[in-house]
Structure 1
């Protein structure tokens, strides 16, 4: 019976009490059914939204692969591409088995330092067949977080490119995805974490890092710095061979990789709302701030490199493509923490300053003679630090989301407590990630498991370990040209000696 058929009262409504009661009951039942249907529609829409955003973030692995392949020498293209594939594959298994369990804790009295209730290890607590339906939320949340974990591991692989063994690579991916990174996730994003803005008992105000300038990018960037420092530069990198001998083999791949990463960032930042209903405003604002910060950083970076003196890391007279792409990525990293908590105009300022953070860190790495082929630390570590600090200055009271109370940036009347929290948070992340990655990489290096042998490095990783060059025709042409030229030089030298 429909509500309208139950409301057929006849001419005397007041006398037809039974019809009135039946009508009310039918309307109440219809309302309850509509509420259930609307709740289901809303939940399933949110699940699809997060699934779509996670797919965008997953596509960033293709961006990292192209960027890495374009930034290394031709002799190591297969090697870096294989590691990009395994970041997603091997890293995914590690995240499933242990990483996700350490990161998020479903228990009511979870640990403030690390997850450990057991619900999320190998998804052992997942159940979508009984009880109240979650409409796929738990599964899609795992997938979304897996894509972030894979990104953190990929950042590190670029910094040690062309000289890291496959065993060493697997060891650090296991450690980063399985323990180092999940612990930071738990601190900042789990409701039980001691630095979490979602924890009313968090340290100070709780750290505001909406999409992971600190959690993802600083973690990956610090691991990158430590790994690049300990593994030592590529042979001949500083002094023995000219700078252009280590130039990336394909500017086209670098640009394509950069654009794919930028595209994926629209899942990374807006998707971190984790839902669309009631959060569409925040997701839309995140898309705009992400765009403007990247655009500003790239524009600033190309001008900075072009007009800065050589003593300050500039290339006078050169419009540097690689520096522009990395500046763009630095702008994306810089806005990631505050993409929903700052006003749109502030994203322009954040991107502008982010370009200087990238440029300064890149110059510092070269002065310290730390070989980082992809400038992973400068892009992700330095700009990730700035992104976290920027929240302490530009976070508005209207957009802030801390559970301990509304916390604002100092430019919006804040008392400095949020800025202090952001500083403390970055210090904790730096100490934790720096110490553990130093122990990890030092141990691997001492055991002879981290760096390839001199013979393998001379021959090239692709030829030594991966069955041949990525571009066999080009490699053959180079070898043949070398063979033709070398005898002529020897003959000329012999003739000259005889004369």
Structure 2
């Protein structure tokens, strides 16, 4: 039952790749659709191999003697330690790998949107290798592995972290979304804006398909029911089914409520793209605390998440940092808010920090909770300190990578390729060849001598 449940949840999370692909394709211009779709496919493919060889082993240590920074056992590198021929594991190791792979692929895909329409395939492959192979799995180890120095599952954190109860990030507002969002910010900052952005008509950079944006948003929302409820990792132990079901409700209400403030920041009330991103911001915001907050709090978290998204999006535009999918605003800014929200709204009844075997638990005699529920403030401190470490780690490594690629001339495509479009230059033609043919015919027709009205008759002359 537990293995089947985790396989089902992992499949929902993997389906989010389709959501990311459609959202990205709808949010960029027509001349680069093939390119962004290819990168979405490669996220799943290249990310899978890298996660198998390195990432999974970096993220999760097996056995005794692990350290707080990185997984060092050989068990999970290339799955070399998995043995399903003895014992009764029922495939739990395979299902856990698959579930974590789907999360890693999502973290890599977040960054793709921020550098869309002007990043080389070489640069793309370089940052996928870094994110999936080292940057993201190290953060996973910190927070989700029982040996991690920020982990609520670690009974004896090292050094000064013994004084903190352990970070609650149930499904990854910080681990997945803040990490991916910070990488997206550094990528967009380093690669610089698309040609003509912020110097002319902004409508020329509008997304090419509202239909794809909406379909992508709904697929992502659907996949989030594997992302958040599935993070119980099992369904049969006492309380797990309860937590999964409650997480589904809090996830739903956070997303639904995040639509309401979409007029803030000068965005028109019925702006479709802003509405979709607000909804996604609400989903990101609830991801950390989906199993530990009351239902009413999930509505507040979603509302504030939408405001955080709009403020971050407007700030990015004012700073002239070109992020075509608002990847930082949705995932980075709202991921940070989601972590902090746990320190405010986490209930004592649902909290799991600090670890029951820790000295901090022994002193307090119970778990900690959010300050709105009488918490000591230590959980809130952890929910701030943890994201600071994530920002420094993800920001430093990604900036070093993108800066190096830019210095070597490997990050951005040439001016000629960008003007023509990546699809025609690198992928054998437009994703919409019939549209291109029609535009070409129209251009040829308009450049020729204008026909006399008599050729078309009365109706033709009116046209």
* The two structures share one fold, judged by TM-score above 0.5: yes
In 2, the alpha carbon distance for the partners of 1:166 and 1:314 equals 34
Correspondence 1:403-414 to 2 at 5 A: 403=355, 404=358, 405=361, 406-414=367-375
Q: Corresponding residue for 1:15?
A: none
Task: Please give the secondary structure, in 1, of the residue aligned with 2:126.
Answer: helix
Task: Please give the secondary structure, in 2, of the residue aligned with 1:299.
Answer: coil
Q: Corresponding residue for 2:182?
A: 222
Q: What displacement does 1:482 show?
A: 2.1
1:73 aligned to 2:33?
Answer: no
1:90 aligned to 2:46?
Answer: yes
In 2, the alpha carbon distance for the partners of 1:198 and 1:181 equals 19
Correspondence 1:247-286 to 2 at 5 A: 247-277=206-236, 278=238, 279-286=240-247
Residue among 126, 141, 161 paired with 2:82 = 126
Instruction: Give the superposed CA RMSD.
Output: 1.0
Task: Please give the secondary structure, in 2, of the residue aligned with 1:267.
Answer: helix
Bigger-Rg structure (1/2): 1
In 2, the alpha carbon distance for the partners of 1:50 and 1:320 equals 37
CA contact (8 A) 2:254 2:299 kept: yes
1:171 aligned to 2:126?
Answer: yes
In 2, the alpha carbon distance for the partners of 1:431 and 1:97 equals 26
Query: Which structure 2 residue ranges, 5 or more long, are not aligned?
Result: 362-366, 451-463
| TM-score (norm: length of structure 2) | 0.92
In 2, the alpha carbon distance for the partners of 1:158 and 1:133 equals 42
1:377 aligned to 2:328?
Answer: yes
Correspondence 1:301-340 to 2 at 5 A: 301=262, 305=263, 308=264, 312-315=265-268, 318-340=269-291
Q: What displacement does 1:483 show?
A: 2.7
CA contact (8 A) 2:174 2:336 kept: yes
Q: Corresponding residue for 1:190?
A: 145
In 2, the alpha carbon distance for the partners of 1:105 and 1:475 equals 52
Task: Please give the secondary structure, in 2, of the residue aligned with 1:333.
Answer: helix
Q: Corresponding residue for 2:340?
A: 389
In 2, the alpha carbon distance for the partners of 1:143 and 1:378 equals 28
Q: What displacement does 1:419 show?
A: 0.2
CA contact (8 A) 2:267 2:274 kept: no
Q: Corresponding residue for 1:437?
A: 398
Query: Which structure 1 residue ranges, 5 or more long, are not aligned?
Result: 1-44, 490-499
In 2, the alpha carbon distance for the partners of 1:487 and 1:365 equals 44
CA contact (8 A) 2:173 2:285 kept: yes
Q: Corresponding residue for 2:457?
A: none
Q: Corresponding residue for 1:208?
A: 168
Residue among 314, 328, 343 paired with 1:363 = 314
Which range moves more in the overlay, 403-412 or 191-200? 403-412
In 2, the alpha carbon distance for the partners of 1:251 and 1:388 equals 31
Q: What displacement does 1:314 show?
A: 3.0
Residue among 119, 142, 145 paired with 2:100 = 145
In 2, the alpha carbon distance for the partners of 1:220 and 1:163 equals 19
CA contact (8 A) 2:181 2:329 kept: yes
Q: What displacement does 1:487 show?
A: 5.0
Residue among 250, 257, 260 paired with 1:289 = 250
In 2, the alpha carbon distance for the partners of 1:488 and 1:285 equals 68
1:456 aligned to 2:417?
Answer: yes
Q: What displacement does 1:319 show?
A: 1.0
1:233 aligned to 2:193?
Answer: yes
Q: Corresponding residue for 1:12?
A: none
Task: Please give the secondary structure, in 2, of the residue aligned with 1:400.
Answer: coil
In 2, the alpha carbon distance for the partners of 1:282 and 1:170 equals 38
| Compared CA separation, residues 326 and 407, structure 1 to 2 (3 A) | same
Q: What displacement does 1:481 show?
A: 1.4
Task: Please give the secondary structure, in 2, of the residue aligned with 1:300.
Answer: coil
Task: Please give the secondary structure, in 2, of the residue aligned with 1:350.
Answer: helix
Q: Corresponding residue for 1:9?
A: none
**More relative contact order, 1 or 2 (CA 8 Å, 6+ apart):** 2
